[in-house]
């Protein structure tokens, strides 16, 4: 008997072995586990809060002084110059070609905003659930996660130029560099040739989810988690479309390149790691006290959008937090350009134009 025949027979045997399994009983057990997990979480949160309270109480009594706050108070980043209503569930923003672009995940559109008037001048229909934007090659690129496509919009006219399928894979990260557009979809890295819109799937012998993607130091960087936790950064060589090496890290989140460094968010330590783009060595770890979801480099600063709605500015020259800003909703995307900071207010379906303090 050849291997395939034997494999088929063994598969049939294992499928027969579960004939007594009762999905309904399993469902009841699943509900029980959900309840148990909720109780465990609540107990863990209570224990953590008690421990923290104890630590703070001991610290205050021991030192007779209040612990310093490392983050400036909310609002220290700048003042709101304009509030611009956009589409439903805005999730990403970028500045390109003298315009500001916002991806509205809830209605499958991209808003184009004229910075001279602070108004939406175009609403462009893209695919379902657009979650990421990138600019390059005279185009705005949109990752439509649910539709499993990329939309390409002409950055000058705002007209859709192409819809590029990413077969069976849901793209959720985008980056531009090394002459290509790169998308992270499932575990796979996709490379899009801007001349032909052809998609090439780059070998994926890694398992990374919910992380980041950027291009720096002649490499494409991928980060994320896999069961059971944080995984090393994977660096892909664009010349060969193969994994070049991995970088050990205890960070797991978003990536950004700028100021001669790569920036990597850690949900574990609630900090930002500054990495050398060549060696991958950690140059600094900057505590931000939030779980960072979006990183953007610009105007000599790193801008961090976090799960709690706080936007944090880190001065690249000093690695210090120099300003924070609080918005409604979670994980606000943030970018800079045209003399302003642009922050997505997810709770109010609006884009905030913030005039940064010097």
Return residues touching another protein (CB under 8 A). 1, 3-4, 6-11, 13-24, 26-31, 33-35, 37, 128-129, 146, 148, 168-170, 185-188, 201-205, 207, 226-228
Closest separation in Å from C-beta 144 to another protein: 11
**CA end-to-end span of the chain, whole Å?**
76
How many Cβ atoms from other residues are within 10 Å of residue 71's Cβ? 16
Indicate the pairing of strand 261-266 with strand 255-258: antiparallel
Closest separation in Å from C-beta 46 to another protein: 21
User: For residues 29 and 245, which CB has a smaller minimum distance to another protein in the complex?
Assistant: 29
User: For residues 128 and 198, which CB has a smaller minimum distance to another protein in the complex?
Assistant: 128
Closest separation in Å from C-beta 125 to another protein: 18
3-state secondary structure of 298: strand
CA separation for the pair 99, 342 (Å, rounded): 11
Of 305, 292, 288, 298, which is closest to residue 338 (Cα–Cα)? 298
User: For residues 110 and 170, which CB has a smaller minimum distance to another protein in the complex?
Assistant: 170
3-state secondary structure of 269: coil
**Token representation of residue 183:** 């998308």
3-state secondary structure of 189: strand
User: For residues 6 and 156, which CB has a smaller minimum distance to another protein in the complex?
Assistant: 6
356 Cβ neighbours under 8 A, 6+ residues apart: 77, 78, 299, 313, 323, 336, 340, 341
User: For residues 13 and 69, which CB has a smaller minimum distance to another protein in the complex?
Assistant: 13
CA separation for the pair 47, 51 (Å, rounded): 6
Length of the chain in terms of residues written: 358
Closest separation in Å from C-beta 254 to another protein: 18
CA separation for the pair 69, 129 (Å, rounded): 38
User: For residues 24 and 358, which CB has a smaller minimum distance to another protein in the complex?
Assistant: 24
User: For residues 185 and 304, which CB has a smaller minimum distance to another protein in the complex?
Assistant: 185
Closest separation in Å from C-beta 224 to another protein: 12
Closest separation in Å from C-beta 317 to another protein: 39
Closest separation in Å from C-beta 19 to another protein: 5
């Amino acid at each position: 008997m050849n291997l395939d025949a034997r494999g088929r027979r063994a598969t049939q045997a294992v499928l027969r072995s579960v004939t007594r399994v009762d999905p309904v009983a399993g469902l009841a057990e699943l509900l029980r586990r959900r309840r148990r997990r909720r109780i465990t979480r609540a107990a863990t949160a209570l224990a953590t809060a008690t421990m923290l309270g104890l630590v703070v109480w001991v610290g205050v009594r021991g030192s007779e002084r209040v612990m310093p706050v490392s983050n400036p108070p909310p609002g220290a980043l700048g003042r709101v110059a304009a509030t611009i209503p956009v589409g439903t569930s805005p999730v990403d923003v970028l500045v390109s070609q003298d315009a500001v672009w916002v991806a509205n995940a809830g209605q499958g559109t991209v808003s184009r905003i004229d910075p001279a008037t602070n108004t939406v001048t175009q609403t462009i229909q893209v695919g379902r659930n657009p979650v990421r934007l990138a600019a390059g090659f005279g185009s705005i690129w949109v990752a439509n996660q649910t539709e499993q496509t990329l939309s390409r919009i002409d950055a000058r006219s705002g007209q859709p130029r192409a819809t590029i399928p990413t077969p069976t894979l849901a793209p959720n990260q985008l980056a531009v560099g090394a002459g290509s557009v790169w998308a992270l979809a499932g575990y796979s890295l996709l490379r899009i040739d801007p001349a032909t819109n052809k998609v090439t799937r780059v070998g994926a012998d890694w398992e990374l989810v919910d992380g980041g993607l950027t291009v720096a130091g002649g490499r494409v960087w991928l980060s994320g988690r896999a069961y059971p936790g944080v995984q090393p950064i994977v660096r892909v060589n664009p010349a060969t479309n193969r994994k070049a090496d991995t970088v050990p890290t205890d960070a797991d989140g978003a990536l950004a390149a700028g100021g001669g460094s790569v920036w990597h968010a850690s949900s574990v330590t609630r900090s930002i790691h500054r990495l050398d783009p060549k060696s991958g060595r950690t140059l600094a770890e900057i505590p931000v006290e939030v779980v960072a979801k979006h990183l953007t480099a610009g105007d000599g600063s790193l801008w961090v959008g976090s799960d709690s709605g706080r936007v944090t500015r880190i001065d690249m020259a000093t690695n210090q937090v120099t300003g924070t800003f609080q918005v409604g909703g979670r994980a606000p995307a943030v970018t800079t350009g045209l003399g302003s900071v642009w922050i997505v207010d997810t709770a109010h379906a609006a884009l905030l134009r913030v005039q940064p303090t010097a």
